[in-house]
Homo-oligomer: A and B are copies of this chain.
Amino acid sequence: VNLSELGEFALIERIVARLPEYRNDVWVGVGDDVAVLALDGDTCQLATCDIQVEGVHFQRKYTTSHQLGRKVAAINLSDIAAKGGTPEHFLISLALPGELDVRWVDGLYDGLREEASQYGADVVGGNVARIQGPVVVDVFLLGRVRREELLLRSGARQGDRVLVTGSLGEAAAGLALLGQEGAVVAEELLQAYLTPTPRVREGRAIAKRGVATSMIDLSDGLSSDIGHICEQSGVGARLWADLLPISDATRDVAELVGQPAVRWALEGGEDYELCLTVPLGQEEDLVAAVKEETGTELTCVGEIVGREAGRRIVLPDRSEGPLRSRGWDHFAAGVEGRATDAP
CB distance from A117 to the nearest CB of B (A): 7
Write out the residue numbers on chain B whose beta carbons fall within 8 Å of the beta carbon of A60. none
Known: A1-B101, A47-B124. A130 touches B18 (CB 8 A): no
Binds B, one of A30-38, A198-206, A288-296: A30-38
B18, B100, B120, B126: which contacts A106 (Cβ < 8 A)? B18
- Docked complex Cα distance between A94 and B22 (Å): 21
A186 within 8 A of partner (CB): no
Interface centre among A1, A57, A95, A97 (most CB of B within 10 A): A95
Distance, CA A26 to CA B56, complexed state (A): 34
CA distance A48 to B14 in the complex (A): 26
Which of B30, B41, B52, B128 has a CB less than 8 Å from the CB of A8?
Answer: B128
Asked if A19 and B109 make an inter-chain contact with CB atoms under 8 angstroms apart, the answer reads yes
A281 interface hit (Cβ, 8 Å): no
Residue A43 is within 8 A (CB to CB) of chain B in the complex: yes
Q: Are A126 and B49 in contact (CB under 8 A)?
A: yes
Evaluate contact between A40 and B41: CB separation under 8 angstroms: yes
Given contacts A26-B122, A91-B35, A125-B35, contact A102 B138 (CB under 8 A): no
CB pair A133–B133 under 8 Å, yes or no, is yes
Q: How close is A242's CB to chain B, nearest CB, in angstroms?
A: 34
A232 adjacent to chain B (CB < 8 Å):
no
* Cβ-based interface call for A118 (8 A): no
A31-67 CB contacts (< 8 Å) to partner B:
32-35, 37, 39-41, 43, 45, 47-53, 55-57
Q: Which of the residues B47, B102, B330 comes within 8 Å of A91, measured between beta carbons?
A: B47
Residues of chain B within 8 A of A321, CB atoms compared? none
Number of chain A residues close to chain B: CB under 8 A: 79
Known contacts A26-B122, A93-B138, A124-B35; A99/B51 CB under 8 A: no
The reply to whether the CB of A123 lies closer than 8 angstroms to some CB of chain B is: yes
Among A89, A134, A333: residue with most chain B CB under 10 A? A89
Instruction: Flag A115-149 by CB within 8 Å of B: 1 or 0 each.
Output: 00100101111111111111010101010000000
Task: Determine the chain B residues whose CB is within 8 A of the CB of A99 once the complex forms.
Answer: 2-4
- Whether B102 and A140, one on each chain, are in contact in the complex, defined by CB atoms closer than 8 angstroms, is no
Interface check A316, CB cutoff 8 A: no
Are the CB atoms of A19 and B113 closer together than 8 Å?
yes
Complex CA distance for A2 and B96, rounded to whole angstroms? 10
| C-alpha gap A89/B47 in the complex (Å) | 9
Can you list, as one digit per residue, whether each of A1-37 has a CB less than 8 Å from chain B (1) or not (0)? 1111010100110110011101101100110111101
Q: Which residues of B contact A12 (CB under 8 A)?
A: 128
Residues in A83-105 with C-beta less than 8 Å from chain B: 88-89, 91, 93-102, 105
Instruction: Report which A residues bind B (CB closer than 8 A).
Output: 1-4, 6, 8, 11-12, 14-15, 18-20, 22-23, 25-26, 29-30, 32-35, 37, 39-41, 43, 45, 47-53, 55-57, 88-89, 91, 93-102, 105-106, 109-110, 113, 117, 120, 122-134, 136, 138, 140, 142, 330-331, 333
Q: A11-B128, A12-B128, A33-B125 are in contact. List 9 more A-B contacts (CB 8 A).
A: A2-B102, A3-B99, A3-B130, A11-B105, A22-B122, A25-B88, A49-B91, A57-B129, A93-B140
